[in-house]
Copies of this chain bind each other. A is one copy, B any other.
């Protein structure tokens, strides 16, 4: 599958279909970090050795008809900067992989499996599901892990678990994360209190594109901090338990709004819709904020005739790289803003 076909987000299962608790949980993601035994970590590898790793992983991957069907491999050094950034925007690779010369990724878009090779670790298996489906995401990642492990020798210590390049991933190598849409907890400033509680439970909150990124569009990623000394099942159970509390809080806020506060929120949501469907130019940051409002409006019944999954797709297709890739050329920031507004309008008014 060419990079162009990946742009058809209706084929990315995790955002084109709806899952449980989708009003608040946009997606459930699981990532397993694995390394090959007796091979230096990626940042210590020269180019030829790194290529060998890619080949080994591909060979292991190809042994499984399930994995091999409808999947493609993309080599970072063969992609343009815009294409690499677009894969980041689509949450198919990490920013780190995008900037790695020896990196590659195998993508199976329908189930949204992506296997990053030569990122921080030799192998990072990632699965994404719509809504709150962490267990399902873990089961699938685990299945991929098992298939690869049949053919590859992973660096594993009986006492510690899987060895990883960064000590924070040692043990299970598991990072489970939920992308949550929390507009009302953000607006009412309850979010900082909730996040400070969450961090005491061994969880960490990040912005949309992972570590060090800002929460735009009221989107937050909550994930486990600890990978060692706990079973995969416990890590996932813990995250689900916390998420259910957050879901309950956000929902209560949405339902409890009355009187003028409710009217002012409806007004803001409808204005955001009016701007998205009429503006001539929109920056990506503004787009995120407006889409956040409209998504909330869809779930609150204020905006009809739009499916939440359409808003989810908009959320990840308004980034600078996606917009440029779509136009087939580099664009100035103003040209991007024009093109983005046109694209959003076409999606919402169809």
- Chain A residues engaging chain B, CB cutoff 8 angstroms: 260, 263-264, 266-267, 270-271, 273-281, 334, 338, 341
Residues of the B chain whose Cβ atoms lie less than 8 Å from the Cβ of A260: 334
Shortest A347–chain B CB gap in Å is 15
Which listed residue, B267, B273, B276, touches A281 by the CB 8 Å rule? B267
Question: Within 8 Å CB of A271, what residues of B?
Answer: 274-275, 278-280
Residues of B within 8 A of A338 (CB): 263
Give the residues in chain B near A281, CB-CB below 8 Å. Answer: 263-264, 267
A280–B263 Cα distance when bound, in Å, is 7
Report chain B residues within 8 Å CB of A270. 278-280
* Copies per assembly: 2
In the bound assembly, the distance between CA atoms of A38 and B263 in angstroms comes to 59
How far, in angstroms, from A108 to B295 measured CA to CA in the complex?
52
Closest chain B residue to A262, Cβ basis: B280
In the complex, how many angstroms separate the beta carbon of A167 from the nearest chain B beta carbon?
50
Q: How far is the CB of A201 from chain B (nearest CB, A)?
A: 39
Closest to A277 in B: B274
The residue of chain B having its C-beta at the shortest distance from the C-beta of A270 within the complex is: B278
A263-B280, A275-B275, A277-B278 given. 10 additional CB < 8 A pairs? A260-B334, A263-B281, A263-B338, A267-B341, A270-B278, A270-B279, A271-B274, A271-B279, A274-B274, A274-B276
- A266: B residues at CB distance < 8 A: 280
Lowest 5 A-B CB distances belong to which pairs?
Answer: A274-B278, A274-B274, A267-B280, A270-B278, A266-B280
